[in-house]
């Protein structure tokens, strides 16, 4: 099979498995097998750039940031939809349909209205041509690169497909993903998104599609735009086409041809809608027959063949009984509203996050107030506003330091105030417990350190972590390295509830579990790569993908601690902040007189130049947006902090020096640092290696070497994995030295 054929085969295989996994939720192969196919394709594509295709499954991770979005004109305008708010208005609509079509009964469909961001996808001959936002309805932004990252959106269609298919639908962020994103942002002291729709819109507006790929978006189709193919008679035929093409369509669906059944469907949907993965505040009623839709036509604003019934917003008043404070893993103190229980969107709500002190003060929320609550994005209970007319005379304003008497509610350490001005909106004031030994934080830090995605330590869950902290055996993850089997085995755990319903006596952890845990700690330094360690440390904003990115750019922890790249990223943010402050558009800081205006203007120019130069200096590294200014600052301040210094000192004492397994910065860095042990050497790579060939290629190049495709007398080394027979033979006949991966690594050490 030629490389071109194999590439095509792999692309359609991967797209099929992607669909089975994400759309049909019926995977046929394991994640590991999927990854294997994926890597094979990546590898082939790297060797055959001439066979590039922007719709290859490997492109879902995003690409080079854009300077701005191109505008595209929609083949047919993207209309809005008329809203109705009562059963009478639904009856009027249905009556109008019957009158205009001149028949007694008109079949209609009823489906959820997705509260997302509208998108139009244009497929030509089964391949995604482009995708756009609604914009003003006539032209929209070309957001193809961002849309490609959405796993439920097919890049190539499954089967014999129409020549042209424009699908319209909604992009949304599933409820759980939205909740997690906001939690992370809150932990990092960033402003949270008001609802999943805003989070989706904000994500799709990003010019860097790699940042979009990291946000879990989904797509569901609900309508047909322009079309060239076998004529579609009705909604049913359209939906069958979507299914054969592998495009997810909007469910559940009701079909009705009588007013009573339409109203019944609307009521049934109201009961089900809180279980849907997206937020929905309405039901869309559409004429089923396509010729009837054409006959009914549209106004300049909306079609006459559809309406959206809007459910009344679920907001209820209740009393704010108290405000309590939660301590997060990073030490952030989150105020929580303790409410008089109230039924809302399908559940009973008695607590709601108040996010941070700014949120409370902006809304002037006081204890004792009657507040209006709703569920943000139908999921997260939130206080909307105070009903000031109902404010009792003794309502008390909330101040974090007063409420906590200046002390962390868990460990009584003094609390500190931070103001984050890096968010685009207003500055956000948060309060923190900065004591790394705070029990609440200590337990969370141990659990985080031990979890599967971090160091994967055996048997260190929350219950054991609590006891380790309570007994003083381990307060910081570093203490784990000094645990002794005997003491650990004697750790007393909480009594358990037995199957008979009785409560057991307190139990010892026992020798077996103690041995397992200690062995997995001892083995971690040799089995876990740098990225897991850096993630395990638990620095705010440094999640899994940021950790992978750090270990792509740095080989060891000390390199991260003294990273120039991170310093430059912080420097750029500082310069940007100064530029914003001095900007003539900044109404909060107008220049006092003409002279100041002049000095500011010239400083602005200097700043612009320095920002441009700094960007240019690091552009080569293609640093992912996971490592932004906030993350970089958090990293550097960790390594400079007392706690961070102790970490590094302990690592040194124990002889721990985790190495990266994906270190592959761009070539320039090596050249600039003068560390080029392979200068003048030419390599050929063959056989099956434990890491991607592209990894070794970059590694060799950044150490000053060259990689070529075929062996000659000028080749210095053949880097050979398993197999690779013919090149090995040629190497030995030409007297070229054959080396293994390990030998290459030791040449570089
Ligand atoms: S059908 C041309 N069905 O809501 C109008 N639209 O507020 C026909 N929307 O523009 C649209 N869920 O972007 C339809 N199930 C659904 C929908 C839906 C969400 C969006 C759509 C529309 C907007 C109007």
Report pLDDT for 662.
84
Report pLDDT for 638.
94
Instruction: Please state the atom number of ligand 1 nearest to the C-alpha of residue 169.
Output: 13
> Token pair of 152, please?
């439920």
Q: Whose CA is nearest to atom 23 of ligand 1?
A: 80
Instruction: Please state the atom number of ligand 1 nearest to the C-alpha of residue 113.
Output: 12
Q: Whose CA is nearest to atom 15 of ligand 1?
A: 113
In angstroms and rounded to an integer, the radius of gyration of the C-alpha atoms of the chain is 30
Assign domain 670-748 to a CATH class. Answer: alpha beta
End-to-end CA distance of the chain: 40
Q: Whose CA is nearest to atom 10 of ligand 1?
A: 80
Residue 374: CB atoms within 10 Å? 21
Between CA 405 and CA 201 the distance in angstroms is: 40
DSSP structural state of residue 208 = -
Between CA 333 and CA 417 the distance in angstroms is: 10
Quote the ligand 1 centre to 171 CA distance (angstroms): 12
Quote the ligand 1 centre to 81 CA distance (angstroms): 6
Report pLDDT for 670.
44
pLDDT tens figures, 241-264:
999 999 999 999 999 999 999 999
Question: Does residue 205 have an active-site annotation?
Answer: no
Instruction: Please state the atom number of ligand 1 nearest to the C-alpha of residue 250.
Output: 15
Report pLDDT for 668.
41
In this structure, are residues 357 and 430 in contact, taking their beta carbons and an 8 Å threshold?
yes
Instruction: Please state the atom number of ligand 1 nearest to the C-alpha of residue 115.
Output: 19
Q: What does CATH list as the number for 439-528? A: 1.10.150.20
Among residues 36, 99, 113, 505, the one annotated as catalytic is 113
Quote the ligand 1 centre to 70 CA distance (angstroms): 24
Mutation to probe ligand 1, out of 81, 131, 249, 276 (largest number of atoms < 8 A from CB):
81
Nearest-10 crossing angle of helices 31-47, 3-22: 150
Quote the ligand 1 centre to 197 CA distance (angstroms): 14
Between CA 264 and CA 84 the distance in angstroms is: 16
Could you identify the residue written with the tokens 């968010």?
423
Quote the ligand 1 centre to 163 CA distance (angstroms): 24
Q: Whose CA is nearest to atom 3 of ligand 1?
A: 222
**Percent helix, strand and coil across the chain, each rounded to 5?**
40, 20, 35
Instruction: Please state the atom number of ligand 1 nearest to the C-alpha of residue 223.
Output: 1
Quote the ligand 1 centre to 113 CA distance (angstroms): 7
Between CA 545 and CA 663 the distance in angstroms is: 14
In this structure, are residues 45 and 26 in contact, taking their beta carbons and an 8 Å threshold?
no
Q: Is 376 exposed, middle or buried (0-12, 13-18, 19+ CB in 10 A)?
A: buried
Q: Which of 221, 215, 223 is nearest to 302 (CA)?
A: 223
Residues of the chain short of pLDDT 70, as ranges, are 160, 189, 421-425, 499, 501, 666-674, 692, 694
Between CA 407 and CA 405 the distance in angstroms is: 6
In this structure, are residues 172 and 196 in contact, taking their beta carbons and an 8 Å threshold?
yes
Mutation to probe ligand 1, out of 110, 170, 266, 278 (largest number of atoms < 8 A from CB):
170
Does domain 3-52 fall under CATH 3.30.70.240? My reply is: no
Instruction: Please state the atom number of ligand 1 nearest to the C-alpha of residue 81.
Output: 24
Report pLDDT for 499.
67
Q: Whose CA is nearest to atom 2 of ligand 1?
A: 79
Pocket of ligand 1 (CB under 6 A): 79-81, 111, 113-114, 118, 170, 222-223, 250, 284, 303, 306
Q: Residue 128 belongs to what H/E stretch? A: strand 127-133
Q: What are the DSSP calls for 367-391, one per residue?
A: ET-EEEEEEETTTEEEEEEE-GGG-
Between CA 320 and CA 328 the distance in angstroms is: 22
Beta bridge partner(s), residue 343: 348
Report pLDDT for 673.
53
What three-state secondary structure class fits 231?
Answer: coil
Q: What does CATH list as the number for 316-433? A: 2.40.50.140
Quote the ligand 1 centre to 462 CA distance (angstroms): 45
The answer to whether the bond into 647 is cis (omega within 30° of 0) is no
Instruction: Please state the atom number of ligand 1 nearest to the C-alpha of residue 306.
Output: 8
Mutation to probe ligand 1, out of 284, 300, 306 (largest number of atoms < 8 A from CB):
284
Strand segments (E) across 469-588 = 492-493, 507-508
Quote the ligand 1 centre to 169 CA distance (angstroms): 7
Q: Is 172 exposed, middle or buried (0-12, 13-18, 19+ CB in 10 A)?
A: buried
Q: Which of 417, 97, 372 is nearest to 262 (CA)?
A: 97
Quote the ligand 1 centre to 202 CA distance (angstroms): 20
Topology adopted by domain 71-310: D-amino Acid Aminotransferase; Chain A, domain 1 (3.30.470)
Q: Whose CA is nearest to atom 17 of ligand 1?
A: 113
Quote the ligand 1 centre to 112 CA distance (angstroms): 9
SS3 readout for 61-103: HCCCCCCCCCEEECCCCCCCCEEECCHHHHHHHHHHHHHHHCC
Between CA 97 and CA 88 the distance in angstroms is: 14
Mutation to probe ligand 1, out of 111, 223, 235 (largest number of atoms < 8 A from CB):
223
Report pLDDT for 674.
62
Between CA 137 and CA 357 the distance in angstroms is: 40
Q: Whose CA is nearest to atom 21 of ligand 1?
A: 118
Domain boundaries, the chain: 3-52, 71-310, 316-433, 439-528, 531-653, 670-748
What three-state secondary structure class fits 114?
Answer: coil
DSSP structural state of residue 481 = G
Instruction: Please state the atom number of ligand 1 nearest to the C-alpha of residue 118.
Output: 13
- Ramachandran region of residue 171, left (φ > 0), alpha (ψ -120 to 50) or beta? beta
Mutation to probe ligand 1, out of 308, 310, 311 (largest number of atoms < 8 A from CB):
308
Could you identify the residue written with the tokens 């750090």?
550
pTM for this model (two decimals): 0.66
In this structure, are residues 714 and 684 in contact, taking their beta carbons and an 8 Å threshold?
no
Q: Which of 724, 706, 701 is nearest to 716 (CA)?
A: 706
Quote the ligand 1 centre to 284 CA distance (angstroms): 7
Instruction: Please state the atom number of ligand 1 nearest to the C-alpha of residue 83.
Output: 7
């Amino acid at each position: 099979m030629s490389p071109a054929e194999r590439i095509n085969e792999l692309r359609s295989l991967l797209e099929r498995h992607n669909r089975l996994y994400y759309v049909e939720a019926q995977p046929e192969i394991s994640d590991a097998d999927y990854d294997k196919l994926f890597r094979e394709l990546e590898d082939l594509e790297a060797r055959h750039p001439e066979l590039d295709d922007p719709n290859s499954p490997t492109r879902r991770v995003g690409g080079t940031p854009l300077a701005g979005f191109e505008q595209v004109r929609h083949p047919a305008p993207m209309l809005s939809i008329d809203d109705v708010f009562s059963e009478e208005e639904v009856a009027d609509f249905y009556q109008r349909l019957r009158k205009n079509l001149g028949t007694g009964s008109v079949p209609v469909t009823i489906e959820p209205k997705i509260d997302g961001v509208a998108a139009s996808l244009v497929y030509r001959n089964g391949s995604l041509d482009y995708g756009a936002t609604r914009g003003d309805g006539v032209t929209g932004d070309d957001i193809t690169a961002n849309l490609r990252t959405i796993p439920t959106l097919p890049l190539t269609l499954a089967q014999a497909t129409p020549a042209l298919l424009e699908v319209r639908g909604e992009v949304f962020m599933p409820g759980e993903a939205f909740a997690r994103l906001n939690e992370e942002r809150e932990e990092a002291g960033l402003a949270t998104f008001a609802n999943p729709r805003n989070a989706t819109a904000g994500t799709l507006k990003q010019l860097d599609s790699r940042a979009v790929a990291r946000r879990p978006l989904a797509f569901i189709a609900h309508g047909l735009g322009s079309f060239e193919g076998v004529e579609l008679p009705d909604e049913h035929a359209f939906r069958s086409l979507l299914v054969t093409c592998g495009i997810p369509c909007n469910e559940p669906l009701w079909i009705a041809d009588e007013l009573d059944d339409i109203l019944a469907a609307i009521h049934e949907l109201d009961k089900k809608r809180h279980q849907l993965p997206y937020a929905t505040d309405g039901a869309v009623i559409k004429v089923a027959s396509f010729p009837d839709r054409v006959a009914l036509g549209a106004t300049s604003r909306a079609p006459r063949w559809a309406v959206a019934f809007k459910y009344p917003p679920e907001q209820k008043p209740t009393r704010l009984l108290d405000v309590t404070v939660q301590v997060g893993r990073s030490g952030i103190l989150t105020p929580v509203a303790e409410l008089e229980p109230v039924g809302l969107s399908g559940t009973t709500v008695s607590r709601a996050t108040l996010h941070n002190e700014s949120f409370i003060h902006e809304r002037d929320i006081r204890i004792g107030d009657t507040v209006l609550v709703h569920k943000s994005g139908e999921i997260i209970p939130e206080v909307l506003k105070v009903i000031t007319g109902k404010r009792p005379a003794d309502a008390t304003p909330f101040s974090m330091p007063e409420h906590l008497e200046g002390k962390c509610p868990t460990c009584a350490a003094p609390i500190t105030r931070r103001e984050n001005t890096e968010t685009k909106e207003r500055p956000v004031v948060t309060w923190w417990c900065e004591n790394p030994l705070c029990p609440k934080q200590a337990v969370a830090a141990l659990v985080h350190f031990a979890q599967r995605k971090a160091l994967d330590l055996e048997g260190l869950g929350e219950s054991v972590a609590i006891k380790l902290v309570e007994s003083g055996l381990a307060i910081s993850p570093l203490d784990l390295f000094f645990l002794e089997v005997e003491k650990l085995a004697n750790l007393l755990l909480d009594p358990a509830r037995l199957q008979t319903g009785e409560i057991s006596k307190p139990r010892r952890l026992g020798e077996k579990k103690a041995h397992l845990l200690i062995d997995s700690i001892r083995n971690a330094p040799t089995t876990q790569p740098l990225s897991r360690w850096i993630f395990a440390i638990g620095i705010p904003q440094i999640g899994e993908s940021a950790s992978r990115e750090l270990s792509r750019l740095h080989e060891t922890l000390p390199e991260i601690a003294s990273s120039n790249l991170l310093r430059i990223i912080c420097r750029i943010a500082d310069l940007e902040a100064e530029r914003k402050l001095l900007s003539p558009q900044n109404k909060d800081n107008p220049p006092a007189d003409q002279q100041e205006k002049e000095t500011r203007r010239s400083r602005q120019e200097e700043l612009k130049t320095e920002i441009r130069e700094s960007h240019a200096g690091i552009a080569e590294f293609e640093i992912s947006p996971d490592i932004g200014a906030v993350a970089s600052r958090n990293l550097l301040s960790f390594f400079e902090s007392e706690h961070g210094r102790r970490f590094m000192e302990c690592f040194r004492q124990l002889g721990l020096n985790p190495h990266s397994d994906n270190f592959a910065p761009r070539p320039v860095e090596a050249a600039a640092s003068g560390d080029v042990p392979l200068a003048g050497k030419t390599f050929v790579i063959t056989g099956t290696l434990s890491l991607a060939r592209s990894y070794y290629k970059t590694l060799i190049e950044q150490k000053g070497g060259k990689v070529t495709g075929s062996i000659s007398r000028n080749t210095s080394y053949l880097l050979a994995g398993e197999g690779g027979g013919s090149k090995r033979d040629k190497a030995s006949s030409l007297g070229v030295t054959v080396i293994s991966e390990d030998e290459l690594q030791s040449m570089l050490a």
